[in-house]
Amino acid sequence: MKRHLISAADLSVEDAILILDTAEEMSQVASRPIKKLPTLRGRTVVNLFFEDSTRTRTSFELAAKRLSADVINFSAKGSSVSKGESLKDTALTLQAMGADAVVIRHSASGAPHRLAHSGWIHGSVLNAGDGTHEHPTQALLDAFTMRRRLAGAPDGGPVPHGEAGDGTGRDLAGRRVAIVGDVLHSRVVRSNVHLLTTLGAEVTLVAPPTLLPIGVESWPCRVSYDLDEVLPKSDAVMMLRVQRERMNAAFFPTEREYSRRYGLNAERVARLPEHAIVMHPGPMNRGMEITAEVADSARSTIVEQVTNGVSVRMAALYLLLGGADLAASDSGR
């Protein structure tokens, strides 16, 4: 394992499977009366959030606490960052406080990379979402959820809806995943395309042409503009949130038009294969990209994804922090 988790593209298939397998063991802790391991006792994890994200921050916080680490939540709002402090000075402060790991969310793509490779801090850096770039732990929890549901049966096949499988040791070879919606603004997509491809899955992006980034043709995935054509060939459909706060240009005519062409409703779900699952990274716009009926159906893994997020983040924190501090022999690159 590397010392930092900046991009899903950095993970080899062995790394990815190690994290997912470790997460499988971590998930058992959640079902115990004592949901705690002594593993990271005495280590300090800082959640450095320059952008609000209660969901991701809480997930990382819970994961670190379940491993007995001390957690400091550092949000930009109300801190010296809002008074003009730079990333460097914030990092030096955290280093002086003895942070062993920094979980960073930043609106600028590349901020976690800068933090990891500038030498400002000696601890591990975990990217919790940077700009429109990457969100690797989200991709890992999505892959974990897919592996459990689609490769979780003892024979490596899909488990019936509502049951929890165990895909330990397996990859996602041959599984077909459709990712639908605002690819342009989504950091989840980039991480997912890298990771799912590494794990052997075939990814198809479905979006209006205006919501696809320039250069998407060089990504290791297919692109389609027609959801109805892709659905029957998909083992998993991942709906992305329409980020209303980023819809500052005419990306699509009206919300109703978007919903009609790219929204997931019961009628469309009926076109999916029997075993296929419906995913959403949350938070959802019910009625826009996904109907309430679909979101609450047995095929939907939306709540499961949140639970799995804690297990995956525990695995990532353990694998980055649990061993000896190899900083002396490892330059961190």
Partner 1 sequence: MSASRETPAQSPPTGRPVAASGSAPSGAAGFDPATARPVLEAPEIDRALTRIAHEIVERAKGAGDVVLLGIPRRGVPLARRLAERLARIEGREVPVGSLDITMYRDDLRMRPTRAPERTSIPPVGVDGRLVVLVDDVLFSGRTIRAALDALGDIGRPRAVQLAVLVDRGHRELPIRADYVGKNLPTSLRETVKVLLDEHDGRDAVLIGDRG
By the criterion CB under 8 A, which residues form the site for partner 1? 1, 18, 21-22, 25-26, 28, 32-34, 36-39, 168, 318-320, 322-326
Q: Could you tell me the smallest distance in angstroms from the CB atom of residue 80 to partner 1?
A: 32
> Residue 5 CB, nearest distance to partner 1 (Å)?
13
Cα distance between residue 199 and residue 205, in whole Å: 17
Least distance from C-beta 45 to partner 1, angstroms?
A: 15
Q: Which C-beta is closer to partner 1: that of 28 or that of 54?
A: 28
Residue (68 or 224) nearer to partner 1, CB: 68
Smallest distance, partner 1 to C-beta of residue 299, A: 28
Nearest residue (CB) to partner 1, 166 versus 255: 166
* Nearest to partner 1 of 36, 246 (CB atom): 36
Residue 34 or 328 with smaller CB distance to partner 1: 34
Q: Shortest approach of partner 1 to residue 66 CB, angstroms?
A: 10
Tokens of 138: 């989200």
Closest CA to 66 of 321, 325, 318: 318
Asked if residue 278 lies in contact with residue 297, where contact means CB atoms within 8 angstroms, the answer is: yes
Q: Report DSSP letters for 251-271, one per residue.
A: SSS-HHHHHHHH-B-HHHHTT
Residue 266 C-beta: closest distance to partner 1, Å: 37
CB of 320 to partner 1, least distance (A): 8
Q: Could you give the angle at the alpha carbon of 290 between the alpha carbons of 289 and 293, nearest 5°?
A: 160
- Looking at the Cβ atoms of 2 and 161, the one nearer to partner 1 is 2
For the residues of 302-324, what is the DSSP string, one character each? HHHHHHHHHHHHHHHHHHHHSS-
Rounded to a whole number of angstroms, the distance between the first and last alpha carbons of the chain is 11
The SS3 assignment for 19 reads helix
Residue 155 DSSP class: T
List all residues 6 or more positions away from 47 whose beta carbon is below 8 Å from its beta carbon. 57, 60, 61, 71, 72, 73, 74, 103, 128
Nearer to partner 1, 39 or 75 (CB): 39
